[in-house]
Structures are given as C-alpha cells and as structure tokens.
C-alpha cells in the first residue's frame, strides 16, 4: 500500500510519526492531511530516507537543484553540491542532470544524501535520442520507471502541457513563450508529432508506475511565465486548471502529489497566482521557484527569488526551490549553492513566522535573538544567526574596544538605555 492508502485507512505510519515529531504537530493531524492530499511526504518504497513533510501546518521546505549540463560534466562536483545543499539546510535535492552518464549521476546522488531526491525523467528520455522530438511515449514512461526503480522519491512531470494549453499559448502575446526545459521538450514533441502529451493522455499509466513505488508526482509548471510581462496570462491559468484535475485523479489513485508554480511574477500578482493555484488544486502542497519579482537582476536572482518566495509563502506556498546567484547566467558553483540556500532559508523562516502550525517555534528563535541583542551577548547571537561564520567574520573584521559593535561603539542605543536603566535602579 502507498502512504496515502495507509493514511486513508487511519494508519499512523512511522513516516507520519517522524514528520509529526519533527514539526511539533499531532500525528493524527498529519495523518488526516496526508489522507486528504494536503501534506505530501515524498519517500520511495525502495529507498531509506529521512521523511520530510511538505504542506499544510508544515514548516516551509527548501529544495536545491544540482546536476550536470552537456557543457559541464563533473559528477564529483555535483555530488559535493548535493551534500553541501543538505548541510546548509535543504530538505530535498533535485538532480537535473542532462550531460554524462545520467544513471550513474543519479545513483551517486541518491547514495550521497538521506533526504528526498527528485528528478525530471523527460530529460533522460530526450537524451536517449539524437533529437528531442524523436523520443517516443515509451521512452518517456520507461524513464519514469527507471527513476522509480532507482529509488527517486519524486519526479516532475509536465502533464499540464497539453493541446489545450498549447492553443492558449498560440493565441497569447507572450514574449518568452515557454521557459521550462521539460515544458519545451513536451511542447516541441507535440508540435512535431501532432499528438497530445503522453504524460497527459496516458496519465493513468503514470499513476500506476508512481503507485507501485509510492513515488510522489510533482506536477510541473511547463507554462510558467519566464518574464514579468508574461505573468498571470491565459496559458498559465489553463495549466493550473489542468493540474487541479490531475491532482484529483492522483488522490483517487492514492498517489501523493504537489504542484509547481510560476517563475516570474510581479509582487502585486503573487497573491493571485498562489491563491488561484491553491483553490484550483484543492489545497495541494505548492512548490515554487521564486517567484522572481523583477527581470533585471542577473547575479542577484537569489535575492529576487527570496523576495517573491516570502510573499508567496504569506499566501500559502509550502515548498521553495532555491535560486542561486548564477540563475540565467551559468551552472551554479558550490559557493552559489551555499549562498542561494542561505537566502532561501531566510525567506522560509520569514514565512514560518506567520504560518499556522509553525508560528510559535519560529517566533521562539527570533525572540531568543532579541534577548541576545539586548544583552549584547555576541556568542548567543552567532549561535542563533542563519550563517554563524559570516556573522562572526564581519564582527571580528571591524574590531571595537566597546562591547557593542563598531557601528556605534559607546554610542550604542541598546548600551546607553541599558546603563541608564541600571543607574535608575541603583538610585532607587
């Protein structure tokens, strides 16, 4: 049986218990939400991994993308990035490799980390042919099965890219058309072969494979906007509608799902996107890359993504895909992975400060920092900081004889008021 089947039968499995304990939530609440599809715990039945809860009442989770490209094939480097991602706070890793021995890369990443690992099987299907459009339906489903057999915990499938959404795209005024790599493969295949997307047309077969391995489906956003000018248009919302229908079919088949959301969205339209997806997909966990809130920040897109992610989280996003400083520019380095993760981790924490089920725990951390700052307790501040080493390095590089920081020294507001209150109490 799948985890969702067990949950529907009232069974609190070890995975559900582990998630409940980690999140500080009642196990019966977690079970009920898994049964309804409001929480996903991606965990392939062929792999032992740390259960991670994504969705309602859960802390905001972070995914890190790693993987080779055809221009840069260094398996050792990608394995190290996966390990570093976990070390710096990622709750899941996606292997997006497109160059080299994809089976070997995936196997090594699966062995390197004990957190959920996701993939995009259509990349391998496309790599099996000289030209992307020559891959077959069998290639696509065989890739899904291969990944499932190897223990992949969740796979992105762009099943919402179908003939209906293609027609909406034809009639749109989009500047960037399709920027999702998997979405572009699917679109090109449909145009070349004159047929509907196999992952949509044969979705029941996809569900059979996923159910056999209790593998979670991440329903991909192949029509996501690739620039601010394309946000909130008909192709995007047509895909949302289709994904909502597929969520319903997945739940009926006892297959866990979460839904991927848009990429570039201005601040004032983020609420519309998030609430629209949540409503159309019946509260399924929502997974976003960003969204990026401006197009003019190459080199700083981890910042634009964190801004968008924080706002999206305020309206219900559950799972953030980190963005690195190299987004739109190059394959990320190890340092890019670290920086992107820390910034995304900060966004996730700001979401948890206002998130139902997580507020109390998140506020406890911020309150502890407030007391440490009031008391000028630098060691405690470093301990609580999101990047202790960086905070310590900055302070140590600009020394002061004062016990305050070098910005104010003896003119520190906290220090002056603390001493003033101390003198007042002494007089009394």
Extract the annotated binding site.
65, 94, 123, 158, 180-182, 221-224, 260, 264, 287, 328, 405, 408, 412
| Structure token pair of residue 356 | 């139902």
The dihedral of CA 321, 118, 327, 240: what is its sign? negative
**Placement of tokens 């700001």 in the chain:** 350
**Rg value, the chain, Cα:** 23
Q: Give the residue from 133, 319, 141, 147 showing the smallest Cα distance to 221.
A: 319
The DSSP secondary structure of 266-312, one letter per residue, reads -HHHHHHHHHHHHHHTTT--EEEE--BS-SS-TT-HHHHHHHHHHHH
Segment holding 80, helix H or strand E: helix 75-87
- Kindly report the backbone phi and psi dihedral angles of residue 247, in degrees, each rounded to the nearest multiple of 5, phi listed first: -60, -45
| End-to-end C-alpha distance for the chain, whole angstroms | 71
What's the distance, CA 358 to chain centroid? 18
> How many angstroms separate the CA atoms of 229 and 306, rounded?
20
Strands (E), 284-394: 286-289, 319-321
Q: Give binding residues for Zn(2+) as ranges.
A: 264, 328
Interatomic CA distance for residues 369 and 133, integer angstroms: 55
- Dihedral of the alpha carbons of 352, 354, 356, 358, in degrees to the nearest 10: 30
- Calculate the CA 327 to chain-centre distance: 15
- Which residues participate in the annotated binding site for substrate? 65, 94, 123, 158, 180-182, 221-224, 260, 287
Report how far apart, in Å, the C-alpha atoms of 421 and of each of 377, 418, 424, 426 are: 18, 5, 5, 9
């Amino acid at each position: 049986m799948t985890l969702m089947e067990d949950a529907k039968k009232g069974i609190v499995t070890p995975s559900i218990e582990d998630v409940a304990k980690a999140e500080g939530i009642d196990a019966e609440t977690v079970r009920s939400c898994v049964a309804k599809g409001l929480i996903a715990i991606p965990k392939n039945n062929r792999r032992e991994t740390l259960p991670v809860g994504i969705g309602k009442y859960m802390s905001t989770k972070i995914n890190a993308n790693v993987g080779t490209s055809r221009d840069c094939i260094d398996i050792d480097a990608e394995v190290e990035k996966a390990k570093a991602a976990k070390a710096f706070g990622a709750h899941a890793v996606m292997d997006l490799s497109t160059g080299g021995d994809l089976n070997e890369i995936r196997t090594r990443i699966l062995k390197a980390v004990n957190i959920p690992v996701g993939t995009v099987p259509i990349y391998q299907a496309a790599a099996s042919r000289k030209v992307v459009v020559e891959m077959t339906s069998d290639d696509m489903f065989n890739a899904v099965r291969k990944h499932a057999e190897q223990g992949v915990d969740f796979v992105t499938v762009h099943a919402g890219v179908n003939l209906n959404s293609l027609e909406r795209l034809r009639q749109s005024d989009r500047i960037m058309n399709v920027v999702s790599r998997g979405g572009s493969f699917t679109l090109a295949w449909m145009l070349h072969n004159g047929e509907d997307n196999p992952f949509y047309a044969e979705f029941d077969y996809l569900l059979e494979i996923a159910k056999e391995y209790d593998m979670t489906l991440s329903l991909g956003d192949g029509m996501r906007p690739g620039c601010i000018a394309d946000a909130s248009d008909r192709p995007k919302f047509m895909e949302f509608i289709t994904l909502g229908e597929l969520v319903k079919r997945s739940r009926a088949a006892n297959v866990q799902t979460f839904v991927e959301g848009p990429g570039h969205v201005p601040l004032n339209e983020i609420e519309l996107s998030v609430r629209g997806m949540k409503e159309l997909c019946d509260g399924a966990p929502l997974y976003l890359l960003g969204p990026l809130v401006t197009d003019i920040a190459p080199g700083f897109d981890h910042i634009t993504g964190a801004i968008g992610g924080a706002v999206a989280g305020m309206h219900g996003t559950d799972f953030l895909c980190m963005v690195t400083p190299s987004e739109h520019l190059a394959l990320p380095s190890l340092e890019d992975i670290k920086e992107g993760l820390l910034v995304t981790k900060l966004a996730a924490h700001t979401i948890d400060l206002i998130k139902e089920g997580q507020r109390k725990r998140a506020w406890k951390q911020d309150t502890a920092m407030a007391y440490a700052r009031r008391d000028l307790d630098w060691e405690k501040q470093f301990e609580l900081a999101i990047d202790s080493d960086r905070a310590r390095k900055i302070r140590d590089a600009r020394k002061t004889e004062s016990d305050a920081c070098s910005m104010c020294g003896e003119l520190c507001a906290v220090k002056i008021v603390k001493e003033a209150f101390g003198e007042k109490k002494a007089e009394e």
